[in-house]
Homo-oligomer: A and B are copies of this chain.
Amino acid sequence: MQITELDTPALILDRKKLLANIERAKACCRKLGVTWRPHLKTHKCIEIARLQMETPEGPATVSTLKEAEYFARNGVKDLIYAVGIAPHKLGRVEEINRLYGADLKIILDSVEAAEAVSRWAREHGARIRALIEIDCDGHRSGLVPGDPEILRVAAALRDGAELAGVLTHAGGSYNVKTAEELGRAAAHEAEAIAGVAEDLRAHGFKVGIVSAGSTPTLCAAEAAPGVTEYRSGVGTIFDLFMHGVGVCEIGDIAESVLVSVIGRQERKGWVITDGGWLAMSRDRGTASQSVDWGYGAVCDAEGNLLPDLWVVTANQEHGIIARRDGGPIDQRDFPLDRKLRILPNHACPTAAAFDRFHVADGTEQVAVWRRINNWEW
């Protein structure tokens, strides 16, 4: 069937762009001599994960324990849950490992957490593998390279709790303004995490995994000595924000929301669609970049950009399309039910509004892939 026959709004995934983006990430990892541990949080879909991972058993990264359970149930064993552990979740971690024979690893960044994990492992006779989270650019969680607390955290992992490695995420790279800055962020991320690993080893700790990565830094890194793996996620799909960061072309964006024209306001030059902010998400990340795309870039049903237009504003189930220059739209071009495809600011929250991807070659639907959402199972 043709995707234009779908009810709208519907989430479309361009198969060829997806495959090309995956190939590109793999090539970047080959160049760096590292393993790719794709972050699956953007799509939460086993079919896409299998196209990304080196083997059906992983490695891979997840952002929730529901993702971990879902991917483990589908055969993925080598997983990192890359959000700092809350100790009450350890029972779930252990359950996933036991039920599915998985090796789901956790991350932590304090002696308090390491002691809680060690205590839990001892009390439950369990083995839990943990990575120490490092903050390479001050943007979120983790210990700063050189902080003596890192050694204390490593030492506090005992009994069933084991040090599996170290991990960082150069989230600051999302806000760089130039290719030079991005190159520096990528080099700094790799040097920072490799340095922490070396320091731990110099103090007698065994450090297996040295994990770095974000989509921008994987795209920009020239070398990553001492790093064993990269964990990029959104770059499998790409979006307008990543285009603004300078790491993809608009033509690389594999995800779009198919919408229908449901009305017009001729006096205002508006075309109104059924793709509102619930479908596009409230993400307005491009508002802080050099080109603001509103709630999304407008393409025709074939996926060709209509560069004069943007989704200027949105309500829950209404997207309002206008010309970027404020001029009139030729209303005859937009009859009721005309299909358009809207490229998202941010692939992750847009995809999270949907329960399936309609996979397309051109406008032909070639598969429907389910995804998961939420936290409870």
Contact = CB atoms under 8 A, between A and B. Distances in A.
Query: Main SS of the interface on chain A?
Result: loop
B282 A8 contact: no
A85 interface: yes
A47 interface: no
Interface string A322-342: 000000000000011100000
Contacts of A63: 316-317
Given A92-B7, A171-B315, A356-B376, A113 B263 contact: yes
A262 interface: yes
Contacts of A260: 86, 88
A336 to B, nearest CB: 6
B355 A374 contact: yes
Contacts of A89: 7
Contacts of A135: 265
Interface stretch (A191-199, A218-226, A345-353): A345-353
Number of copies: 2
A359 to B, nearest CB: 14
A9 B89 CA distance: 11
Given A263-B109, A373-B373, A376-B356, A116 B86 contact: no
Looking at chain A, what size class is its interface with the partner chain? Answer: 35 or more
A60 interface: no
Given A10-B376, A272-B140, A278-B352, A113 B336 contact: yes
Contact of A336 (B86, B265, B353, B356): B86
A231 interface: no
A373 B262 CA distance: 21
Interface of A: 7-10, 41, 63-65, 83-89, 92, 108-110, 112-113, 116, 135, 140-141, 171, 260-265, 272, 274, 277-279, 281-284, 315-318, 320, 335-337, 346, 348-349, 352-356, 373-376
Given A7-B88, A8-B88, A171-B315, 20 more contacts: A7-B376, A8-B86, A83-B274, A84-B262, A84-B263, A108-B263, A110-B264, A112-B335, A113-B336, A140-B318, A140-B320, A141-B262, A141-B272, A279-B375, A281-B349, A282-B283, A282-B284, A284-B284, A316-B348, A353-B374
